[in-house]
């Protein structure tokens, strides 16, 4: 197994920065923990307590279903699906198929589409 390079670390950092950006665009707390008493940690923003849970923040690139789960909670979810061009073909119903490329990629393709769409919606707003 090879040793990680600076490029590997750069990619990982950029990837988590994008995860954080989407999370915050969705109005959710990106947890940053400070050590509390014993093994407990507390988010410095929302005060959520965690017991050594270093996976408290979602990896939207690794699991595109997390992007869909959060976007489906929004009233404008249909607009996202229709206008962000993530549907397979020319479908117009919420139950239509998401293009497979967005669901099998672990590079953040759906996450990036959501970020772009949320930024555009905020700018048009």
55 three-state secondary structure: coil
List of residues 6+ apart from 57 with CB closer than 8 A: 16, 19, 20, 23, 30, 31
Distance (Å, rounded) from C-alpha 66 to C-alpha 23? 10
Distance (Å, rounded) from C-alpha 89 to C-alpha 104? 17
pLDDT reported for residue 52: 58
Phi, psi angle pair for 124, to nearest 5°: -75, -25
* Domain ranges for the chain: 6-30+58-124
Percentage of the chain exceeding pLDDT 90: 26
Predicted confidence (pLDDT) per residue in 17-65, tens digit: 999 999 999 999 988 877 666 566 778 888 777 765 556 788 999 899 9
- Take residue 85 and report the two structure tokens written for it: 């061009």
Percentage of the chain exceeding pLDDT 70: 70
64 neighbors 52 (Cβ within 8 angstroms): no
pTM above 0.85, yes or no: no
31 neighbors 74 (Cβ within 8 angstroms): no
Residue bearing the bigger pLDDT, 81 or 71: 71
Reply yes or no on whether the pLDDT at 66 is more than 90. Answer: yes
Please compute the mean of the pLDDT values over residues 110-115 and round it to a whole number. Answer: 92
């Amino acid at each position: 197994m090879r040793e990680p390079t600076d490029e590997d670390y750069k990619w990982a950092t950029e990837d988590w920065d994008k995860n954080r950006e989407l999370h915050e665009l969705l109005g959710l707390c990106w947890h940053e923990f400070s050590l509390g008493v014993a093994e407990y940690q507390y988010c410095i923003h929302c005060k959520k307590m965690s017991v050594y849970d270093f996976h408290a923040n979602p990896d939207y690139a690794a699991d595109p279903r997390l992007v869909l789960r959060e976007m489906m909670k929004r009233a404008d979810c249909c607009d996202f699906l229709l206008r962000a061009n993530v549907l397979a073909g020319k479908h117009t119903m919420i139950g239509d198929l998401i293009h497979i490329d967005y669901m099998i990629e672990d590079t953040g393709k759906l996450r990036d589409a959501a970020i772009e769409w949320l930024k555009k919606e905020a700018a048009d707003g």
